[in-house]
Structure 1
Amino acid sequence: MHPDETLRRLWDLAGLPPEALGFARLTGAEPALPSSFAVGTAAQASIAAAALAACELGHLRGAPRQQVTVDMLHAALECTAWFSLDGRVPPQWDPFSGLYRCADGWVRVHANFAHHRDGALRLMGLDPSTAQRADAETAMSRWKAIDFETAAADAGVVATALRRFDEWDATPQGRAIAAQPLFTLERIGDAPPRKLPPIDESLPPLAGLRVLDLTRVLAGPVGCRALAAFGADVMLVNAPHLPNIEAIADTSRGKLSAHLELNSDAGRATLAGLLTDAHVFVQGYRPGGLAQRGFGAAQNAQRRPGIVHVSLSAYGTEGPWAPRRGFDSLVQTAMGFNHAEGEAAGEGRPRALPMQILDEATGYLIAMGAAAALWRQQREGGSWLVQVSLAQTGQWLRGLGRLSNGFEVPRPDIEPWLESAASGFGELRSMRLSAQLARTPVAWRRPSMPPGTHPPRWP
């Protein structure tokens, strides 16, 4: 599908005015990175949709519309999420993460968090303190793929069996995902339009807006980082006891970063106070996790009428897998992408997509959905729920079509697309934003800082 048409369909699904599409300029063409899938189109269209929606909200607040330009190669490289700290490139994967050959197929294990790694190793019958990757491979060779996937889900371990597209389509979860739209914007309560501070042509489109970011890996942090780049005050809220991966250095650009313990009365009271002055609440915890603490969508709408609540999940809200934890790499494997990509490459084994495009595109759909829901709130009133999932984004990516020449393009040099900045983690070298706004250039006003650096209060 052509990128312009892809963007138009995203725009129509969000219910935004069609005349704004005349201010979008998409350059470049597929293939952008080596893949049989239209990953460049997915990156470019989702990034452009987020930027254009932010600008349309800015227009509603009093600023003239402005041109949004996104180059496909730049967008695709941005979605590789490459970064370094003080010249060191952190490893993307734990040694135990990845594909394992089983007795009748393959399983992918996600082990970047220690508790997930240790849980998977124990399920294999191994001692996490002494096990080596070779031990895990031997242990996995005795399992049937679906048996391990089922046992992992029962044990709270994150692992999925490799499927072909037709096998995924035949599952109850595959059918549930196919029946859902890419994302949903739903009015969930009555409220008058909340007056937003007006802006003029000199201010970024989301200036003066406040976003609570209760997300961890990777789509949610990317979406909230985009909202910060478009001018919003974004506060990342972490629990002090939860582990983080090094990618937080890259995804925290532009954000305040505070600690709150939501298992305590004091922590919940502080979050409730922050919510009172927030415009957007973004959460990516396991389904129902925040509702148990009093911050589900309906609870937030009652506490702060007019709120936009954005909810991220791995496998959507329908079907038997709706409660399951998941990550981009696992969703790729479960849905059929790894099998299809390996088959197209002729390598004789499964192959991952060239970046975590389900995470990245979903992140920008979070940013688009938040801006679109705020736009709707200004015109119609109400509180709003935006729902996205990695699996729904995967279904959308599959619908963009396949590329017969996708592996003919070489992996490009990333150096021209990088920028450097001081951060609380060290010298951060990372990808520049590919969305270019004609009048108010995108920028992060705050450096990336470690969790807990800032007090939990709005500036």
Structure 2
Amino acid sequence: MDSKLAASLWQQMQQGLRGRDDALPLPAFVDRATFSSAYAVSELAATSLGLATQAAAALIATSRPEFPSPPITINVRLASRWFQQSFHPLNRAAPAMMWDAFAGDYRSRDGWIRLHTNAAHHRLAMEQVLGAHADRAALAQQVQQWQASELEQAMIDAGGCAAEMRSAAAWQRHPQGQAVQREPLFSWQTTQPAAAPDWPLAGARPLMGIKVLDLTRIIAGPVATRFLASLGASVLRIDPPGWQEPTLDEEISCGKRRAVLDLTQPADREQFIHLLREADVLVHGYRADALERLGFDAQTLQALSPGLIDAGLNAWGWQGPWRNRRGFDSLVQMGCGIAERGMQWQQSDKPVPLPVQALDHASGYLLAAAVLEGLRRRITEGHGSQVRLSLARTAWLLQQHPAGQNAGSGIVPQVKDNQPCYELTPWGFGVRLQAAAWLPGTPQIFVTPGCAPGSHPATW
């Protein structure tokens, strides 16, 4: 682990979270094995997890200001492994990431482009532009007839997902890249005053009694709410009808309850409003204007739940021409220059992404830290908060921290990494990694296993 890179990442993160005049101490780092990558991925894993853990310690300290916060230790190798996979089935094969047969990187007439076709409507959009093909090879021949930028725009216009591979320099010249660089890592807004909450903030389960309404998908947002659940929060995740994440159910939904609501239907909408009125935290991962179009703009949310911690994350940033563009970790890596830099670093003839979906996982821990900081401000300053983060802004943070000469030697799993007990899920049993962060007196544990959408009613 590169201590200087970790310290630099930490400085930017904690200043974004708390400001220059309210510094959080750098955690202690142990077992410093790191990923082999062009960028400081393991350092990002350790510091983002460390920030969330320090934010938890700061929240606990509000209930006992006479006692100093205990020191925090982060296991770098374990933090890196949590960026890979935390749950390992024992009675069946581990689920592989379910990529659609046509998803992936393609050579275009003038470069490379990545097509994201995992969702059925995204694949239909691709076929609308490029036609239906019998196999990937036939699609590749069609993609080669296009310029990458033209195909990217055509896919977006059709309602699909794609990203041209750009260099970092090209991204920095792009209007969206420039907008992202102007955004803070954490974009804060103070909302209306609110009554003092009666949260107990017990050291062992500091978020017990705090209600978190979770409107997130795939990885980044669910990582945030998983961390909150590990500290005792009551997390209720709401999925739309028909939504499936079979490769992530056991991985991401532990400690949570999962209900299904269709917010376009009056009865479900009323039930969602009822949930909002009792919520302390709302975490969402939609595009910038999605909640507004459903009638839940920031002002409406605060009116329904005064003092609400409104935490949102999207792919491409909250300003600029792409603020409402669909995006995923793999597309952001292609679009902002990370995959092109990896290609150079590895001297490859094709795009080389990060060894893990680090933008998703790191953004998830940063989002969890923001929620915890919002809860602290609710207690100490008497108001709610709105905070916004994005995968693209996390990418810009990482791009300022190339790995240099010592690019890591890889992460080797060890049996001692696992918890000494089985976790029984609806699909079978397995083992989960031990927590990578140690905050004395505050274990990070999940009281329930992963579950499927609709396993619970839409009630607190």
TM-score greater than 0.5 by the shorter chain: yes
Rounded to whole Å, the distance in 2 between the matches of 1:17 and 1:153 is 39
Give the direction of change, closer, same or farther, for the CA distance of 1:22–1:146 in structure 2 (3 Å limit): closer
Contact 2:202–2:208 (8 Å) recurs in 1: no
Q: What's the offset of the Cα at 1:400?
A: 2.2
Rounded to whole Å, the distance in 1 between the matches of 2:279 and 2:438 is 27
Q: What's the offset of the Cα at 1:451?
A: 0.9
Task: Provide TM-score, normalisation by structure 1.
Answer: 0.93
Give the corresponding residue for 2:417. Answer: 417
Q: What's the offset of the Cα at 1:23?
A: 7.8
Rounded to whole Å, the distance in 2 between the matches of 1:210 and 1:218 is 20
Give the corresponding residue for 1:124. Answer: 130
Rounded to whole Å, the distance in 2 between the matches of 1:42 and 1:197 is 31
Please give the secondary structure, in 1, of the residue aligned with 2:388.
strand
Contact 1:235–1:256 (8 Å) recurs in 2: yes
Give the direction of change, closer, same or farther, for the CA distance of 1:424–1:298 in structure 2 (3 Å limit): farther
Give the corresponding residue for 1:81. Answer: 85
Deviation per residue, 1:228-255 (Å, 9 max, x gap) = 0112111111112334342132100110
Task: Provide TM-score, normalisation by structure 2.
Answer: 0.93
Contact 2:220–2:360 (8 Å) recurs in 1: yes
1:143-158 to 2 correspondences below 5 Å: 143-158=146-161
Contact 1:59–1:205 (8 Å) recurs in 2: no
Contact 1:62–1:199 (8 Å) recurs in 2: no
Give the direction of change, closer, same or farther, for the CA distance of 1:109–1:431 in structure 2 (3 Å limit): farther
Give the corresponding residue for 1:15. Answer: 18
Please give the secondary structure, in 2, of the residue aligned with 1:290.
helix
Question: Counterpart amino acid of 1:98?
Answer: G
CA RMSD of aligned residues (A): 2.1
Q: 1:135 aligns with which of 130, 134, 138?
A: 138
Give the direction of change, closer, same or farther, for the CA distance of 1:403–1:418 in structure 2 (3 Å limit): farther
Are 1:240 and 2:241 counterparts?
Answer: yes
Q: What's the offset of the Cα at 1:387?
A: 0.1
Are 1:44 and 2:46 counterparts?
Answer: yes
Contact 2:238–2:259 (8 Å) recurs in 1: yes
Rounded to whole Å, the distance in 2 between the matches of 1:147 and 1:16 is 42
Deviation per residue, 1:371-399 (Å, 9 max, x gap) = 11111121222221110100000000111
Q: 1:179 aligns with which of 168, 179, 182?
A: 182
Rounded to whole Å, the distance in 2 between the matches of 1:430 and 1:352 is 26
Please give the secondary structure, in 1, of the residue aligned with 2:389.
strand
Runs (5+) with no aligned partner, structure 1: none
Give the direction of change, closer, same or farther, for the CA distance of 1:439–1:4 in structure 2 (3 Å limit): farther
Question: Counterpart amino acid of 2:136?
Answer: R
Contact 1:250–1:428 (8 Å) recurs in 2: no
Contact 2:250–2:449 (8 Å) recurs in 1: no
Question: Counterpart amino acid of 1:152?
Answer: M
1:247-258 to 2 correspondences below 5 Å: 247-258=248-259
Deviation per residue, 1:332-389 (Å, 9 max, x gap) = 0000000101111112221010000000000001100001111112122222111010
Give the corresponding residue for 1:68. Answer: 72
Please give the secondary structure, in 2, of the residue aligned with 1:104.
coil
Contact 1:173–1:321 (8 Å) recurs in 2: yes
Give the direction of change, closer, same or farther, for the CA distance of 1:12–1:429 in structure 2 (3 Å limit): same
Give the direction of change, closer, same or farther, for the CA distance of 1:55–1:410 in structure 2 (3 Å limit): closer
Deviation per residue, 1:391-425 (Å, 9 max, x gap) = 0000001112332231x614423544344411123
Rounded to whole Å, the distance in 1 between the matches of 2:289 and 2:414 is 40
Rounded to whole Å, the distance in 1 between the matches of 2:433 and 2:144 is 39
Rounded to whole Å, the distance in 2 between the matches of 1:319 and 1:246 is 33
Give the direction of change, closer, same or farther, for the CA distance of 1:14–1:73 in structure 2 (3 Å limit): same
Deviation per residue, 1:216-237 (Å, 9 max, x gap) = 1210011100110112111111
Rounded to whole Å, the distance in 2 between the matches of 1:435 and 1:314 is 27
Rounded to whole Å, the distance in 1 between the matches of 2:167 and 2:413 is 32
Give the direction of change, closer, same or farther, for the CA distance of 1:17–1:62 in structure 2 (3 Å limit): farther
Between 19-28 and 356-365, the greater mean CA deviation after superposition:
19-28
Contact 1:57–1:374 (8 Å) recurs in 2: yes
Give the direction of change, closer, same or farther, for the CA distance of 1:193–1:40 in structure 2 (3 Å limit): farther
Rounded to whole Å, the distance in 2 between the matches of 1:111 and 1:429 is 31
Contact 2:214–2:236 (8 Å) recurs in 1: yes
Are 1:317 and 2:318 counterparts?
Answer: yes
Between 165-174 and 245-254, the greater mean CA deviation after superposition:
245-254
Contact 1:58–1:206 (8 Å) recurs in 2: no
Are 1:298 and 2:299 counterparts?
Answer: yes
Between 414-423 and 100-109, the greater mean CA deviation after superposition:
414-423
Q: 1:159 aligns with which of 120, 142, 162?
A: 162
Give the corresponding residue for 2:105. Answer: 99
Between 13-22 and 149-158, the greater mean CA deviation after superposition:
13-22
Please give the secondary structure, in 1, of the residue aligned with 2:106.
strand
Question: Counterpart amino acid of 1:409?
Answer: S
Runs of 4+ with >6 A deviation: 16-20
Rounded to whole Å, the distance in 2 between the matches of 1:446 and 1:332 is 33
Rounded to whole Å, the distance in 1 between the matches of 2:87 and 2:206 is 27
Q: What's the offset of the Cα at 1:83?
A: 4.2
Give the corresponding residue for 2:216. Answer: 215
Please give the secondary structure, in 2, of the residue aligned with 1:174.
helix
Contact 1:3–1:26 (8 Å) recurs in 2: no
Please give the secondary structure, in 2, of the residue aligned with 1:309.
strand
Q: What's the offset of the Cα at 1:257?
A: 0.9
Give the corresponding residue for 1:197. Answer: 199
Question: Counterpart amino acid of 1:66?
Answer: P
Taking only the aligned residue pairs, the percentage that are identical comes to 32
Give the direction of change, closer, same or farther, for the CA distance of 1:22–1:179 in structure 2 (3 Å limit): closer
Q: 2:447 aligns with which of 442, 445, 448?
A: 445
Deviation per residue, 1:112-151 (Å, 9 max, x gap) = 2232223223321115xxx311122122111111011000
Rounded to whole Å, the distance in 2 between the matches of 1:174 and 1:55 is 34
Contact 1:279–1:307 (8 Å) recurs in 2: yes
Give the direction of change, closer, same or farther, for the CA distance of 1:19–1:383 in structure 2 (3 Å limit): closer
